[in-house]
Structure 1
Amino acid sequence: MRTSQRPTDYPPLVAIWRSAVNATHDFLSEVDRREIESKLETDYLPAVSLTIAELDGRPTGFSGVLDGNLEMLFVDAEHRGSGIGTRLLNHAIKEQDARYVDVNEQNVQAVEFYTHQGFYLAGRSETDDAGRPYPLLHLQLS
């Protein structure tokens, strides 16, 4: 694993995001998916402290932390279930003091992943941060 803030790292991270979202976010409309993806390199990735997981020098997953919040954690669909997500989460907790994460309520696999890792439900919002109709669960580390 390595940290990065280099824009040259962004294109493979966008590809990982796309792969992960295609596998887990079937509730997102195509319009919303395209809008979010269009802002990854310009808004979302530069705003967080990134950690990139690699296998044989190739990025396979990444996380982003800001002010104790795990803002993003995505693993390439080909590598789901291989422990990369757990390693990224553990790094975010131990090295970046991540204690909070917001998860789309419809992403049941992610909710189960975080609760299995010791997070509990601390609140809920009817919409996501952009006001889209995707409820968020606000989770906090026990």
Structure 2
Amino acid sequence: MIPIRSSRPDDAPVLFDVWLAAVRSTHDFLSEEDIGFYADLVRDQYLPAAALLVAVDGDDRPVGFLGMTGCRIDTLFVDPSWHGRGVGRALIARACEGGPDLTVDVNEQNSAARAFYRRLGFREVGRSALDDSGRPFPLLHLALDGSGRGGPTGA
């Protein structure tokens, strides 16, 4: 069982490190300039203000996090050294406690994330040519089937 708790203000530096390591591991389509652009937003605006679910190790050190607005997953990042160990699945399962009709946007170029969400039962329901910052990184809009079939605990 992976412990999950609410974020605390003092988590922000470690969560930023998790974000940066995950982006460098999975977003090979981004240039260093692009990463710098997003890093400033994440570090200075998003993390200080967001209420997040945080997956932690046995020493209460964050290894992954998930942010939501309503039933929409805004962000999900897991430390690459924890990939494949159920952290993302556990965070999604916790998110489902608020209702099974989750949605998420995923970068079209991020094949690992697309495969992860597909394994959990998400399906494509739309596409945008630009990301939320208006940059040319297409997003796939995904939705989890709220019927309970193929959800995070049954995929």
* TM-score, normalised with respect to structure 1: 0.93
State how many pairs are aligned.
141
Structure 1 residue 45: deviation in Å? 2.4
> Structure 1's 39 and 98: CA in aligned 2 closer, same or farther, altered over 3 A?
farther
> Structure 1's 105 and 50: CA in aligned 2 closer, same or farther, altered over 3 A?
same
Contact 1:104 1:137 (C-alpha < 8 Å) held by counterparts: yes
Contact 1:70 1:99 (C-alpha < 8 Å) held by counterparts: yes
> Structure 1's 72 and 98: CA in aligned 2 closer, same or farther, altered over 3 A?
farther
Contact 1:100 1:138 (C-alpha < 8 Å) held by counterparts: yes
Pairs within 5 Å for 1:45-124 = 45-56=47-58, 57-95=60-98, 99-124=102-127
Q: Which runs of structure 1 show a deviation greater than 3 angstroms over 4 or more consecutive aligned residues?
A: 95-98
Mapped to 2, the partners of 1:16 and 1:130 lie a distance apart of 21
Contact 2:128 2:139 (C-alpha < 8 Å) held by counterparts: yes
Mapped to 2, the partners of 1:47 and 1:66 lie a distance apart of 13
Pairs within 5 Å for 1:3-14 = 3-4=6-7, 6-14=8-16
Aligned amino acid, residue 19 of structure 1? A
Corresponding residue for residue 17 of structure 2: 15
Higher helix fraction (1 or 2): 1
Q: How many percent of aligned residue pairs carry the same amino acid?
A: 45
Matched, 1:136 2:139: yes
Structure 1 residue 58: deviation in Å? 1.3
Aligned amino acid, residue 116 of structure 1? R
Corresponding residue for residue 40 of structure 2: 38
List gaps (5 residues or longer) in structure 2. 146-155
